[in-house]
Amino acid sequence: MMRLAIVFVTALLGATAYAETAEELVAGKVRADIDYRQLMELMGEAVGTIQRGILRENAELVAIGARMILDHPAPRHRPWTIMAPSDRNAFKQALLAFDPQLDRHAGAALEAAREADWGAALDALARLDHACIACHAGWRQRVMRTAPAP
């Protein structure tokens, strides 16, 4: 429980409020015919693309990965329905905290790559990885189902 509290506080401290509610966050995205697990796979591919771009000093690869994160769709279902009902409100808050962090770090990697500042791009990637892992540490083991009915 303490680990979850630390992860959640870390997320909140780094959050920039783009949406007031998780419902607004999801409504502001294009809905795709994917479930939450598939969305996470897409996000993982995006992070990998950013990493490959940095390793190869290829700003276009970094841009492709960053755009995947910045413009990611919403799954076909409400994301919090993968959690037990007792965890849903807290998971909604985690979505509100982590989504802007991912955008901020992907955007920083993109800007650094455009300027060929590969050290700064790598630092942004490390912060992006940290945000992903922090969310997974708090929530991945609590998922009840990955593809609820639409």
Q: CATH no. for residue 85?
A: 1.20.120.10
What range does the domain containing 127 cover? Answer: 20-142
pLDDT grade, residue 132 (50/70/90)?
very high
The Cα 23–Cα 100 span in angstroms is: 15
- Domains: count for the chain: 1
pTM, full prediction: 0.84
pLDDT grade, residue 145 (50/70/90)?
confident
Instruction: Tell which wins on pLDDT, 12 or 77.
Output: 77
pLDDT grade, residue 150 (50/70/90)?
low
End-to-end CA distance of the chain: 31
**Closest alpha carbon to 103 in 2, 7, 15, 24:** 15
Q: Per the domain annotation, does 54 fall within a domain? A: yes
pLDDT at residue 149 tops 70: no
